[in-house]
Amino acid sequence: MVTQIDYEWRGQITDAEMLRLVESYGGNAEEAWWDRIRTHSLGWVVARVRDGSLAGFVNVAWDGSDHAFLVDTKVRADLQRQGIGQTLVRLATQHAKTAGCEWLHVDYTEQLSPFYVNACGFRPAPAGLIHLPSL
């Protein structure tokens, strides 16, 4: 059975909700993370179950002009594989386009390639990466 989900661009979300969401799938939750990064975002999409509980989230950071960056796509562990992540990304993409961005970038691990490439329509592109703690 598919859960009924409501989506909202720049929807209200607390740091405590974000911590619980990250912990739900075994991620590294960090206190005050959301409060710290929110001001650097073009926007974000919040997904909520009809009872008001947080189902998922995606953040859209940007350079203030042409480039937006999809980061921190998250879906609560018990609600994964229902299309929530795909809808979060689709809505974030639409809002980045409406804001005048020309490009939406996303980094992902190989195991997430089917999601981002096949389900969400991103195309692989060459990129460079420096692991700063290793320097």
Hey, what domains does the chain have and what are their CATH numbers?
Answer: 5-134 (3.40.630.30)
Instruction: Say what the alpha-carbon torsion angle 61, 106, 80, 10 is, to the nearest 10 degrees.
Output: 20
Query: For residue 103, what pLDDT band results from cuts at 50, 70 and 90?
Result: very high
54-62 sheet: strands from edge to edge: 5-9, 41-49, 54-62, 67-75, 103-106
Q: What is the mean pLDDT of residues 71-75?
A: 93
3-state helix, strand, coil in the chain (%, to 5): 35, 25, 35
Q: What is the pLDDT of residue 47?
A: 97
Global confidence as pTM: 0.91
